């Protein structure tokens, strides 16, 4: 699937993803449940990948 974004849309999406990444990183540090921790780490990785892909263009 390809999604075409205008530059303002891409910038907004990057800002939202970076905010979400900060929130997830905070949750990772605070969680004591190993299963939830692993789930959050996966989400953090996905957010980083998306941010990286959007920064390339």
* pLDDT tens readout for residues 8-19: 999 999 999 999
- pLDDT score at 41: 97
The pair of structure tokens assigned to 39 is 């789930």
Q: What is the pLDDT along the chain (57 residues), one digit of tens a residue?
A: 899 999 999 999 999 999 999 999 999 999 999 999 999 999 999 999 999 999 975
Predicted TM-score (pTM) of this structure:
0.88
Sequence-distant (6+) residues with CB within 8 A of 24 are 40, 43, 44, 47
Q: What is the 3-class SS of the chain, one letter each residue?
A: CCCCCCHHHHHHHHHHHHHHHHHHHHHHHHCCCHHHHHHHHHHHHHHHHHHHHHHHC
């Amino acid at each position: 699937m390809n999604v075409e974004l205008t530059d303002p849309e891409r910038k907004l999406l990057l800002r939202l993803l970076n905010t979400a990444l900060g929130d997830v990183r905070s949750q990772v540090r605070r969680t004591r449940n190993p299963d939830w921790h692993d789930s959050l780490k996966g989400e953090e990785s996905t957010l980083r990948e998306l941010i990286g892909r959007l920064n390339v263009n």
